[in-house]
Amino acid sequence: MLKTTFKYVLSGCAVSAAMGASVAAAETTIRLSTYVNEIDVRYQGFQKFGELVEAKTDGRVKVQIFPSATLHGWSEGVDAVQGGVSDISWIPADKRLPCYRVTSLYPAAINLEGQIELDGEFAELIKPEAAKTNLVPIINSNYSYDQEWWFEERVEDIGKLDGKLVRSIGPLVSMMIEAWGGKPVFVAPKEVFQSAERGVVDGINMGVATYSSWKLWSVMPYMVNANLFYGNISYMMNKSKFESLSPEDQKAVLEAGHESEVWLKPRYESWVNERVGDAVMKGGGAAVTIPQDNRMALINSVQGSWDKEVDNACGGELAGKIRDLFAKHAP
């Protein structure tokens, strides 16, 4: 009896110790919401971010990832983070972030060799605006590399859309579609397949990574490789939650965000290239690159009008700094 009692006492102590260690090891859990699914290479980037956060904080902070927009819809990033539905989420073109809204997508030719530096400098420029909305930029999800256009059949000139309904991701893309004679239609990423299959849209603007992850090559196999703008969907964290971390752990989270971007960049580009190659060689897809002269003509056809939006939203000084940044990273 004494042995049995002693055994259960030890067992209870072990459970209590394990529970105590578990609590001590994870003082804070950060819920990260993303629209990408688990097939997407960017999901691995978020996993890397989580690994880095846990390692750098000695387990005090852990990251829980929610893929495929399971926590909230495409347009609800700011509300989700402010309301506690998630702690870090992608931030769409929200009117509460007027400058970010019109510059996270900007018509420009960009040299992506310096992408990590460009994204970091951009995040610093929009950081004060984010703070006013209780947000802190954590991860830059750059999709300039693979944001392309798809159609069911060959399109001779993307600048002549002739009334086509084209899926848009934000105000700049909507303006482009309208300027080129098309009609923009908003469709959330995970609803694009059904929209394309049922003829709700005639064309799609979307990143290759997302497009491939949702297996859209089968419904719209004709890709136009355009490289028409800088694109950065920033993942931001609730500022109050961020500031509840110790200064050491705040630093660790920011470092993990940057290091995960560096880790992901070559893998992301390689994965995108592989998906395009497989679709063209094996899946009946087609990929056509716009000649450089045509590319610049398309950019110039909207840049002047868009700059008025940027000046109004950002103010002259900040707008000038952002344009200077893009110019510094031009090809």
Q: Give the model confidence (pLDDT) of 310-319 as tens digits.
A: 999 999 999 9
Instruction: Report whether pLDDT(8) > 70.
Output: no
Residue whose structure tokens are 């769409």: 92
Residue 208 or 322, more confident:
322
Mean pLDDT of 292-298: 93
| Domain 147-229+274-328 in this protein, CATH class | alpha beta
Confidence at residue 144, expressed as pLDDT on a 0 to 100 scale: 66
Percent of the chain with pLDDT over 70: 91
Confidence at residue 285, expressed as pLDDT on a 0 to 100 scale: 83
pLDDT tens for residues 162-195? 999 999 988 999 999 999 999 999 988 778 888 8
pLDDT tens for residues 102-161? 999 999 999 989 999 999 999 999 999 999 999 999 999 977 666 789 898 888 889 999
Instruction: Report whether pLDDT(3) > 50.
Output: no
CATH 3.40.1160.10 applies to domain 25-92+111-140+236-271? no
Confidence at residue 318, expressed as pLDDT on a 0 to 100 scale: 98
pLDDT tens for residues 13-53? 444 444 344 434 579 999 999 999 998 899 999 999 999 99
Sign (positive or negative) of CA dihedral 123, 49, 96, 192? positive
Same fold? 25-92+111-140+236-271, 147-229+274-328: yes
| This prediction's pTM | 0.85
- The rounded mean pLDDT for the chain is 88
Q: Where are the domains of the chain?
A: 25-92+111-140+236-271, 147-229+274-328
Closest CA to 146 of 48, 224, 47: 224
